[in-house]
Structure 1
Amino acid sequence: MANAPTSHGERETALADYVGDKVAELQDRYRRRDSAALAAMAKLRRGVGGKPGTDPALWGLTLAEMPEHITAREVMTRDERDGASTVWERAAYDAITLHALHQQSRSDRMHRRGTTIGTATAVLGARAGAQDAVRARFHALGTASDHDARLIHLRGLISQLRGYDIPLDYARLAVDLCRLDDGTYADRVLLAWGRDYHRRPATTSNTDNTAPAPGDPL
Structure 2
Amino acid sequence: MTLTPTTAGANASPPPENSGEKEAERLPVHRLVSGATGRYIARIQVQYLADRPHAVSELARLRRGAGRRAHEVEDLWGIEGMDDLANLLAGRGEFSRSEDAEEALFLACTLWALHQQSGREQGMHQRNHHLGGAVRTLIRFQGAAGEDEEDSPLRKRLVRVGTAESLDSVAVRLREIVLLLRGAKVPLDYARLSGQLYRWQHRPDRAGVQREWGREFHLAAATAGKKGRPAADGEAIDRTLAADEEYGGYAAGE
Q: Where do residues 1-218 of structure 1 align in structure 2 (5 Å cutoff)?
A: 3=22, 5-6=24-25, 9-61=27-79, 62-72=81-91, 74-76=93-95, 86-107=99-120, 108-129=122-143, 131=149, 132-199=152-219, 200=221, 201=224, 202-203=231-232, 204=234, 213-214=244-245
Task: Name the aligned partner's letter for residue 140 of structure 1.
Answer: R
Question: For 1:66, what is the secondary structure of its paired residue?
Answer: helix
Question: For 1:65, what is the secondary structure of its paired residue?
Answer: helix
* Aligned counterparts of 1:58 and 1:178: Cα–Cα separation in 2: 19
- How far did 1:16 drift? 1.1
- How far did 1:216 drift? 6.6
Question: For 1:60, what is the secondary structure of its paired residue?
Answer: coil
**Are the equivalent residues in 2 in contact too, given 1:14–1:67 (CA < 8 A)?**
no
Question: For 1:186, what is the secondary structure of its paired residue?
Answer: helix
* Aligned counterparts of 1:52 and 1:135: Cα–Cα separation in 2: 28
Larger Rg: 2
Question: For 1:44, what is the secondary structure of its paired residue?
Answer: helix
* Aligned counterparts of 1:93 and 1:153: Cα–Cα separation in 2: 16
Question: For 2:54, what is the secondary structure of its paired residue?
Answer: helix
* Aligned counterparts of 2:247 and 2:59: Cα–Cα separation in 1: 29
- How far did 1:215 drift? 6.1
For residues 35 and 119 of structure 1, do their structure 2 counterparts lie closer, same or farther at Cα, with a shift above 3 Å needed?
same
Aligned-residue identity in percent: 30
Task: Name the aligned partner's letter for residue 89 of structure 1.
Answer: E
- How far did 1:70 drift? 2.3
Q: What stretches of structure 1 of length at least 5 have no aligned partner?
A: none
TM-score by length of 1: 0.84
RMSD over aligned Cα atoms: 2.7
* Aligned counterparts of 1:24 and 1:90: Cα–Cα separation in 2: 19
- How far did 1:88 drift? 0.3
Task: Name the aligned partner's letter for residue 36 of structure 1.
Answer: H
Following TM superposition, the consecutive aligned residue runs of length 4 or more in structure 1 with deviations greater than 4 angstroms are 4-7
- How far did 1:54 drift? 2.9
Q: What stretches of structure 2 of length at least 5 have no aligned partner?
A: 1-17, 225-230, 249-254
> What does residue 5 of structure 2 align with?
none
Between the two proteins, the alignment pairs up a number of residues equal to 207
Question: For 1:138, what is the secondary structure of its paired residue?
Answer: helix
TM-score by length of 2: 0.73
* Aligned counterparts of 1:41 and 1:133: Cα–Cα separation in 2: 30
